[in-house]
Amino acid sequence: MAVLDDVKVLLGNPEGLDNKLNTIINLTENRLKTLLNEDTVPAELEYIVTEVTIIRFNKIGSEGVSSHSVEGESMSFNDNDFAGYLDDIEAYKNKKNEVKGKLKFL
């Protein structure tokens, strides 16, 4: 699976996490397919699965937390992991729904 390999490279190839990463990838793909109203994730949007998988992996143990602060270090989490990709998703949907051809009125 190309996404799994990309995620492992970006995370520093953590050992023994294939099952966890595959679960996150599957959940991410299913969510994206729902947002797109598609049966499969289009190849041109596969990068979203990779990046959102990393976001979700990094949130493990912090589910439901909106912000966290420890000794001057502060982190805040977005409620919607796909928020940064909604424009890309909308552009794909608009492109897919474009009507091609000419309309002729008689």
Helix (DSSP H) and strand (DSSP E) numbers for the chain: 4, 2
Is 105 a residue whose pLDDT tops 70? yes
Question: Which residues share a beta bridge with 69?
Answer: 74
Is 99 a residue whose pLDDT tops 70? no
Check if the beta carbon of residue 92 is closer than 8 Å to that of residue 42. yes
Higher pLDDT, 35 or 96: 35
Model pLDDT for residues 30-85, shown as the tens digit of each residue: 999 999 999 999 999 999 999 999 998 888 776 666 666 777 776 666 678 899 99
Enumerate residues 6+ apart whose C-beta is below 8 A from 74.
Answer: 67, 68
Its pTM stands at 0.74
Q: How many CB atoms lie within 10 A of CB 51?
A: 19
Instruction: Give me the residue spans of the domains in the chain.
Output: 2-67+77-96
Q: What pLDDT, on a 0 to 100 scale, did the predictor assign at position 66?
A: 64
Q: What pLDDT, on a 0 to 100 scale, did the predictor assign at position 17?
A: 84
